[in-house]
Structure 1
Amino acid sequence: MDNQTAEPVEVPLNIAVLTVSDTRTPETDKSGDTLVKCLEEAGHKLGDRAIVPDDIYKLRATLSNWIADEKIHCIISTGGTGFSGRDSTPEAVTPLLDKVIDGFGEIFRMVSYDEIKTSTIQSRAIGGLANSTLVFCLPGSTGACRTGWYKVIQDQLDSRHRPCNYVALLTKGNAQHV
């Protein structure tokens, strides 16, 4: 899947990448690597990156710090959105959100259907806005990260996308919404 933007975005954003896993390390975090590659190829900047265990309170601590950081415009997490074991990303993130983007999970599952059929119902991918910081939570597979980025997130983080995008909200009015 090579749906990269032909030219870099007009307004680069600082995006933090969070991998939620009890087993991944910086050397084995292929999904985090995929997200970093996608955002940098689009012209955005990596604002921060972390790997946090599947623990609601550790997740909330990391997310809260990024949400409070005015330099971070968006957070994309990978992992912990399923139904097995300690998957708890939605439970950790939802209380931190000021507004939930219901359509994000709906669209993610819709476009995932083409790739994984009805297994997409096992994804609890969510999105929302917290303190003018956009938060997207994707499943832990590299395929899900590519699908989420190229088919949903990428356009919403590009100020040129019409009829609308999130850039003006995320840059706290510093970007022109043309």
Structure 2
Amino acid sequence: DIYRIRAAVSQWIAAADCDVVITTGGTGLTGRDGTPEAVSVLFDKTIDGFGEMFRAISFQNIGSSTLQSRATAGVANRTYLFVLPGSTGACTDAWDNLIESQLDYRKRPCNLVELMPRLNER
């Protein structure tokens, strides 16, 4: 239910102590896959490179089946949102190869953490 997903994510991004939301599942092509539609309307900015890089990494493991993934990411109300497929392998690929290092302030030359104070700049 995209409206229930959207409502839950909206509550999380409204919380002052929430910096990151990671969802899993609902990124495929079937009728019940609607997480990207539920969440992407909340984005202030889309992190296009996340979906592109995720599919490139995923291709190494599942080949052309990765074209079915609509994994995406963005920023909403100073909160990073990552929308991942539901499979354990996909979640592991995303965490191990993309998200974990970007949420580590020690990652150089840059990382998402060091951008956090500047996300609300106008």
Band of TM-score, shorter chain: over 0.9
Alignment check: 8 A CA contact 1:132 1:169 kept: no
Q: Which residue of 2 aligns with 1:93?
A: 39
State how far apart, in whole Å, the 1-side matches of 2:115 and 2:20 are: 11
Q: Which residue of 1 aligns with 2:10?
A: 64
What is the SS of the residue equivalent to 2:41?
A: helix
TM-score (structure 2 length as normaliser): 0.93
How much has 1:94 moved relative to structure 2?
A: 0.9
State how far apart, in whole Å, the 2-side matches of 1:96 and 1:156 are: 21
Quick one: which amino acid aligns to residue 97 of structure 1?
Answer: F
Q: Which residue of 2 aligns with 1:83?
A: 29
List aligned pairs for 1:1-178, cutoff 5 A. Answer: 55-170=1-116, 172=117
State how far apart, in whole Å, the 1-side matches of 2:114 and 2:18 are: 14
What is the SS of the residue equivalent to 1:168?
A: helix
Quick one: which amino acid aligns to residue 75 of structure 1?
Answer: V
What is the SS of the residue equivalent to 1:87?
A: coil
Which deviations, in whole Å up to 9, do the C-alpha atoms of 1:76-100 show, x marking residues without a partner? 1100000012100111111100000
State how far apart, in whole Å, the 1-side matches of 2:31 and 2:78 are: 32
Identity %: 57
State how far apart, in whole Å, the 1-side matches of 2:88 and 2:3 are: 25
| Greater radius of gyration (CA) | 1
Equivalent pairs counted in the alignment come to 118
How much has 1:163 moved relative to structure 2?
A: 1.0
More helix by share: 2
What is the SS of the residue equivalent to 2:29?
A: coil
State how far apart, in whole Å, the 2-side matches of 1:163 and 1:81 are: 30
Quick one: which amino acid aligns to residue 90 of structure 2?
Answer: A
TM-score (structure 1 length as normaliser): 0.65
What is the SS of the residue equivalent to 1:96?
A: coil
